Every structure is written in structure tokens, then in C-alpha cells.
Amino acid sequence: MLGAIAGDTIGSMYEFRPAPHKRFELFPPGSRPTDDSFLTIEVARWLLDGGSLIDAFQACVERHPDGGWGGMFLRWAERKQREPYNSFGNGSAMRVSPVGWAFSTFDEVLLHAERSAAVTHDHPEGIKGAQAVATAIFMARHGSSKDQIREAMRDRFAYSVEMTIDELRAISRFDETCQVSVPPAIVAFLDSSDWEDAVRNAVSLRADADTQACIAGAIAEAHYGGVPEPIRSRVLRYLSHDQRTVCERFETRFLGRVQPPARR
């Protein structure tokens, strides 16, 4: 899940200050993990320790009041609501990456992706966005090709992922819904040459940069065999001791720190 956190951190400065091209600075001053990373870590903690994901998310908002929370999610958390709010925003997809690593069967991945989404994003599109991203990660870590992942996104989730990143860049717009923002984030991975290129593709869409880079980085981590070590080391320094501990525990339990061989 470091791929998701790294993508989020790299994209954090470009959400409302779009990068003019792919050759942007990876970590300009002010770069930081946002709500994408914080909730990803809480999903990992939930998979490790169990408990209430609702309580975990709401406590996370209290710990990080300046986390860049979406308006509906923030109101849900501050009001201590127990029911979801029928969202189809991409918040469900940005936090799901640990699910793609934690289970050994496709059915388990789909089930837990839905569970991780439905505490807030119980709209069918919100659940589908989480399931699609978790599925892409699951397939990538099990050696599926990009063509196989593209086919699954198209046939199982009805996502349009046929355009190139250059074609998408020409028509891209800021939209935080799953159905509009998740497919281009997946294409950012599909049309990449390595992990960094996937994240640069996502940011270059000049849209929801942190979340789309989070999604692309998560899938690319599974496909390319990890996050480049200099980027990984730098991103870990942005996290608190508790957050790093959760990441380390998750990797030890579910990844064994053994990544698949790097692929192109």
C-alpha cells in the first residue's frame, strides 16, 4: 500500500495547482500525505486488527483535522453518524488498496472491498470503484498482464479504459466521482512504463491529482514489484511513528516484504 501513499503524497501539491506536463517536481515544498493516505492506513489497520471501520475513520478525522477531507465525509465523521450517506465519490477507491493485498481469492477481495466502501460509500458506483481498484491490484500481484487487467475492468466493471493517457489528458476534467475519475487513474497505470511513470501519468491528467495518483500508484506497485526505494524512503518520513508501524506490520503479514519481480 506504499504505492498508494506515495502517489497521494506526490499528487498532493497538484490537485488545485495542475502540473503543466509530466516533468514536474515529485516532492515540491508542501507535499504531504492527505486523507487518501490516512484512510488507506486505517483500512490496513482494520484488516490487521479488526474492529469498527466507522470508529477508525472518525477517530482518524479527529487526529488529522487538516487532512484535506471531503465535505460529505467530514460532516459524516464530525456528526458521529453510523449510517452511510450513499456516496459515489472516489473516496472508496482511494483507500481500498490494502484489500487487494490481504486476500488469496477473488471473492474475498470483492467482499472486503465492498465492506471497506459501504460504511460511507454505499452507492453502487462507490462500491464498484473500490472493487475495481482492489481487483486490479489483486490481478497485478498474481501476475496478470495489463491486457488481462484492462479486459477485467471493461467486462466486469463496465469501465472505459481503452483510450491512451494522451487522449484522456486532452479531455480530462476535475471530477471526484468514481465513475469519472477511477477509469482514467487505471489507464494511468495501464499506459505506463514503470511505477513513477504511472504516477506522473495520473498527475498529468490535471484533475483530482492526489487521488488519481494514489490509485495509479497502488496498482503500479503490485505490477512493477514495489515502489522505487528512494521514493519509498522519502514517503515513509512523512508518516507518523504509528502510521509507519501499521505499514510495516501490514507488509510483514501480507506481503512478507517479498514483492513480485519488476515488470514492464
Write the pLDDT tens digit of every residue in 34-75. Answer: 999 999 999 999 999 999 999 999 999 999 999 999 999 999
Strands of the chain, DSSP E: none
Class of domain 2-12+32-255: mainly alpha
Sequence-distant (≥ 6) Cβ neighbours of residue 94 within 8 angstroms: 4, 8, 35, 36, 39, 40, 211, 214, 215
Write the pLDDT tens digit of every residue in 91-116. Answer: 999 999 999 999 999 999 999 999 99
pLDDT of 264 reads: 54
Domain boundaries, the chain: 2-12+32-255
Alpha-carbon dihedral sign for residues 67, 70, 73, 79: positive
What is the b/e burial string over 176-196, where b = at least 16 CB atoms within 10 angstroms of the residue's CB? Answer: bbbbbbbbbbbbbbbbbebbb
Please say whether the beta carbons of 195 and 224 come within 8 A.
yes
What whole-number distance in Å separates Cα of residue 259 and Cα of residue 242?
23
Whether pTM > 0.85 for this model: the answer is: yes
| Closest of 1, 194, 256 to residue 116, by C-alpha | 1
Q: Does 206 have pLDDT greater than 60?
A: yes
